[in-house]
Amino acid sequence: MSLFSRLFSRQRRYNDLSVSIQEHIAERADELVEEGMPRTEAEQKARREFGNVALVEQQSREAWQWPALESIIADLRFALRRLGNSPGFAVTVLLTLAIGIGASTAVFSVINCVLLKPLPYPDSSRLVALRLDAPGAAGLANFTNGLQLSNSMYLTFSDHNQSFSSVGVWYPSKANVTGVAQPEEVNVANISGGVLEALAVPAAQGRLFSAVDQEPNGIKTVILGYGYWQRKFGGDRSVIGRTIQVDSISRQVVGVMPRGFRIVDKDFDLLAPLALDRNHQILAGFGGDGIARLRDGVSIPQANADIARLIPRWMDSWSNGPGSNPHYYEVWRITPNLRLLKQQVIGNIGSVLWVVMSTVGLVMLIACTNVANLLLVRAEGRQQELAIRSALGAGRARIARELLLESVLLGLLGGALSVGVAYGGLRLLTAIGPANLPRLSEISLDATSLAFTFILSVVSGLLFGSIPALRYARGAAAVVIGNADRTASTGRPRQRTRNILVIAQVAMALVLLVSALLMIRTFAALRRVEPGFADVEHIETMSVSIPGMMVANAHAVSQMQNEILAKLAAIPGVVSAGYGEAVPMDETDPNWDTINVEGKIYDGGEGPLRLFNYVSPGYFNTLGTRIVAGRDFNWDDLNNIRPSLIVSDNFARQNWGSASAAIGKRVKKYSGSPWQQVIGVVEDVRVHGADQDAPPIIYWPAMFYDRYSAADEMDGLRTVTYVIHTSRAGTQSLLEEMQKAVWSVSAQLPLASVQTMQQIYGRSMARTSFTLVMLAIAGSMAFALSLIGIYGVISYSVSRRTREIGIRLALGAQKHELRWMFVRSALALTCIGTVIGLAAAASLVRLMKALLFGVSPLDPLTFIVVPLMLGAAAALASYLPARRAAAINPVEALRAE
Amino acid sequence: MAKNPDQRDLFPGALEIMLLQSLRHKPMHGYALAKHIKQVSDELLQVEEGSLYPALQRMLREGWLDAETGISAKGRPTRIYRITEAGTRHLEREVVSFERMFAGITRVLAVAKA
């Protein structure tokens, strides 16, 4: 008998059975009639002899059933029917669960895709980032990336290492591509040999770079990124072998990378070989990111030791030019500190994500508490029914199973709805999330997330279902059937569970609200910081890059840049304009170099490294950076290439005691260079973000003599960022006029990175604002849910105590006394919850410390304001039902039931 | 199975063997089957209805019986049970097993008597 046919024939079986039994009884009755008994008596006797007909029929049917499964299905159908009968309850619970589970799933997806999943390279656990620490190199090496590699370092490591199967170094840059439709600025990854070998991802079309491509004097080649290939060439396979102009250099396309290929975490339009010339490398130039693939069996400490051994060899193999001391770098105390590549990618986004996960988890718990309360009320309404069933023989397990089944069903239904919420939540998260959220493109709602949704639905169903199940699935002995409410009101113990739940809610809401308020204060503190520039909504920035192949002569380049500047300044509505190598907070550091102050002696012979910027006249004025002493550059200084410089306020105070004392003092870049004179001091600028200290900055004029030699050879910047102060910043019309201005000077120049300072500033605050938004949302949801919880408890209490209230009123209680009675109970609950919550918050906020700025984790103002706020809201929430209680008509209350 | 302490329960499987054998002899409906066993055993065995019908359904599920619509002796519509091939095979196996058990018991009792 196959399962299938069994299911179909079951009804027929039941039918047959019924007929058989009825016929059996009828035949026996006939027999008895033949023996002389009257018909009715015969039928009764036949029936009695048979036994309990219904029971026998049921037992016979069981041959065709799977009893356990049948009863579970019956329970489920019953639960569904009951849910259908109370749509208000069902909708409330399902909505609450859908939002809670959906939000949790969305955040989990982000954590899974960003933190937990391995990088998309074969055997990615063997990939390491070649991080070097250099505690003696001051400003150059105190970023999250440590000291970056120079080309000579790469060559030494590559030639002599024993730990890596491949090692390489790469630099991101931008380039102008011409000869393909409009001139466009693209992202280029300049990679040395070993990078593609380490990542071990094969090309989608054509081939990868080989040693031939890295020859400095060979044919110049390039590999396209997948997105760029689709966009610009429409996925045309014949692109292999074609030539494109990159920064006015002809490069032959030899391959295309597969879709989704990234170097570490960045997407690139083009990959170009570094093609290093071994004969022209120097020690310095620390700007490359190193990647390597560890050999089998080699651990990171072993690789660290290997590289440490190669550092002195590097210093011996190369030099910085005649007369320089290669072993100067010993001052820097360069130590290898290799990290798993995945760790490098994730950086410290992990702390933010875990904070977000915890807050969402707390909100989920609060939602479950609310649902548990609702279920408790419902179970209380079913008490009579459950008591009767218990008396009829249902065991504790049986009743508990039914209650749990109902709550798991609710959980699963909520979970099914939550998938939609999770999807929407993910879209929202990726839209408002920090722009530098790593692996952003990999975030999606995949099988793991759905499994998480399922598990969370079941677990939360069990969790909030266990509370009514524990309370109401009692044995027959403890049951009270009948009108228990006749004499008094609800006894104290009945409400205890609900009260505990509300207290838990209040405590959790308090923790969330404290965190949210701390973040609000952090955000406010960050905004109050004086960043060193002003009026960000009205400053437009744009960068333009003039490649060497287009205009070789540095003087001509500067002329072009100045022409463009003049045209930009002439646009109607532009108040002032200027340009520089970088603008604050744009996440690039143009240059760090040594600076020697006249009269000071330094260890190692050279001064410390300081951040350099190269600016035009008007740069400071446009940005709103105040000039504290002295004056700005003027065109005279630039055109005559005067040896002058401007320094930041903190540098002036560090070296000469005050800003005014700095004017006229002399510095030089390194021992062999000529003296330069300080002509002005500007206020500090927080170029690394509002929460970072302002570094000392040296500003040079944009036209200067060559950086590394003393010869009278003028040099300028190839890439400059223009800043324009105008009320029209951010508008399309301004953009068009800017384009016209640039193209009137040269039609080949693309505009790049057009954005307002507002956008740049916003991005630097992105991590904080993201956390803030998340916590604010979570905090408000928690707040609302807790208030609903308090309202619910008090409201329910009022309805249960109607008779008591009626009695009190009849005996002469004042209305306001009654109201106060209920409000007081709510405040008592809130108080206890607050105390617990404050204790929890005090211990948990230490975890948030990394995200806070300008406010201590145990900020007294926050810890006072939040409880007061919560108390006031609780009082209000309980006042409404309390008012209802006082409005009860005692006659009706006593008459009811 | 026993309604009062004077009667003894049959060993497991006994009811099935007897039902199968009876039905092998002649396909019958439920009431006739109960009467048949009572008569043939000279009233030494009585099948209770509370055991008969569940046993019949179990055997139907196992595939040892078929049920088909028929007419009872009194002319009423009923279901007639008939043994199947599989049922026959099962019956023969069980009978062999039963006889061996019975032989064993007999021998032990014979020793005890002697």
Domain ranges in chain A are 3-65, 131-337, 349-482+493-519+767-895, 547-748
The pLDDT > 90 percentage for chain B reads 23
Are A57 and B53 within 8 A, CB to CB? yes
Q: Which of residues 85-114 of B touch A (CB under 8 A)?
A: none
Question: Residues of A numbered 40-59 whose beta carbons fall under 8 angstroms of chain B's beta carbons: which are they?
Answer: 49-52, 55-57, 59
Nearest to A30 among B53, B58, B74 (CB): B74
B79: which strand partners?
A: B69
pLDDT at position A488: 44
pLDDT for residue A417: 93
> A317-322: which pairs have CB atoms within 8 A and are 24 or more residues apart?
A317/A152, A317/A156, A318/A152, A318/A156, A318/A281, A318/A282, A318/A283, A319/A282, A319/A283, A320/A282, A320/A283, A320/A284, A321/A282, A321/A708
- What confidence category does residue A619 fall into, taking pLDDT thresholds of 50, 70 and 90? very high
Which one of B61, B67, B74 has the shortest CB-CB distance to A63?
B61
Mean pLDDT of the region A572-592: 83
Separation CA A492–CA A496 (nearest Å): 7
Residue B105 CB partners (closer than 8 Å, separation 6+): none
Nearest to B77 among A19, A30, A59 (CB): A19
pLDDT of A497 above 70: yes
Report how far residue A592's alpha carbon sits from residue A609's, in angstroms, rounded to the nearest whole number: 6
pLDDT at A482: 47
Higher pLDDT, A488 or A471: A471
Best residue in A23, A50, A58, A62 to probe B by mutation, most B CBs within 10 Å? A23
CA–CA min distance B69, chain A (Å): 8
Q: Using the beta-carbon criterion (under 8 Å), do B53 and A17 form an inter-chain contact?
A: yes
Q: Which pLDDT does position A474 carry in this prediction?
A: 61
Distance CA A70, CA A23 (A): 28
Is residue B31 less than 8 Å (CB to CB) from chain A?
yes
| Nearest-angstrom CA–CA distance, A414 and A461 | 9
CB contact under 8 A, B49 and A49: yes
Chain B residues near residue A6 by CB distance under 8 angstroms? 61
Q: Are A192 and A273 in contact (CB under 8 A)?
A: yes
Question: In chain B, what is the straight-line distance between the N-terminal and C-terminal CA atoms, in Å?
Answer: 34
Put simply, the answer to whether A60 touches B78 (Cβ < 8 Å) is no
Looking at residue A781, its pLDDT comes to 79
Domains along the sequence of chain B with CATH: 14-113 (1.10.10.10)
In whole angstroms, what is the distance from residue A25 CA to residue A271 CA? 91
- Scanning A11-40 for CB atoms below 8 A from B yields 13, 16-17, 19-21, 23-24, 26-28, 30
Strand A221-224, strand A249-256: pairing: parallel
* For residues A696-713, average pLDDT: 70
- Residue B41, classed as helix, strand or coil, is coil
For residue range A815-834, list pLDDT tens digits in order: 888 888 888 888 998 999 99
In which residue are the tokens 């400071």 written?
A620
The kind and range of the H/E element at A221 are strand A221-224
Q: In terms of CA atoms, which chain A residue is nearest residue B65?
A: A1
pLDDT of residue A137: 64
Task: Return the number of CB contacts < 8 Å for A and B.
Answer: 72
Distance, CA of B84 to CA of A275 (rounded, Å): 87
pLDDT band at A706 (very low <50, low <70, confident <90, very high): low
Q: What is the pLDDT of residues B34-79, one digit of tens each?
A: 888 888 888 787 778 788 888 998 898 888 999 888 887 777 888 8
Do the interacting molecules here have an ipTM over 0.85? no
CB A628 within 8 A of CB A649: yes
Using an 8 Å CB-CB cutoff, list chain A residues near B31: 23-24, 27-28
Report CB contact under 8 Å: B31, A24. Answer: yes
Segment A757-765 mean pLDDT: 82
Q: Are A56 and B34 a contacting pair at CB < 8 A? A: no
**What average pLDDT does range A64-87 have in this prediction?**
84
Which of A53, A60, A65 to mutate: most B Cβ within 10 Å?
A60
Q: What is the pLDDT of residue A485?
A: 46
pLDDT given for residue A808 in this prediction? 86
Q: Which residues of B touch A27 (CB under 8 A)?
A: 31, 72-74, 76
Which among A5, A14, A16 is the top mutation candidate for probing chain B, defined by the most B β-carbons within 10 Å of its own β-carbon? A16
Q: Provide the β-strand partners of residue A251.
A: A244
Give the sign of the dihedral formed by CA A471, CA A476, CA A482, CA A486. negative
Q: Please give the Cα distance from A265 to A170 (Å, whole number).
A: 13
Return all residues near A376 (Cβ < 8 A) that are at least 6 apart.
Answer: A467, A468, A471, A497, A498, A501
Mean pLDDT, rounded, of chain A: 83
Sheet holding B77-83, edge to edge: B28-29, B77-83, B65-71
Inspect the interface and report whether the beta carbons of A63 and B60 lie closer than 8 Å: yes
pLDDT at A715 (0 to 100): 67
Residue B92 is predicted with a pLDDT of 92
Neighbours of A717 (CB within 10 A): 23
Q: Which pLDDT does position A408 carry in this prediction?
A: 92
- Chain A residues with beta carbon closer than 8 angstroms to that of B77: 19, 23
Looking up tokens 């000291």, which residue turns up?
A147
Q: Classify the C-alpha dihedral A797-A803-A805-A808 as positive or negative.
A: negative
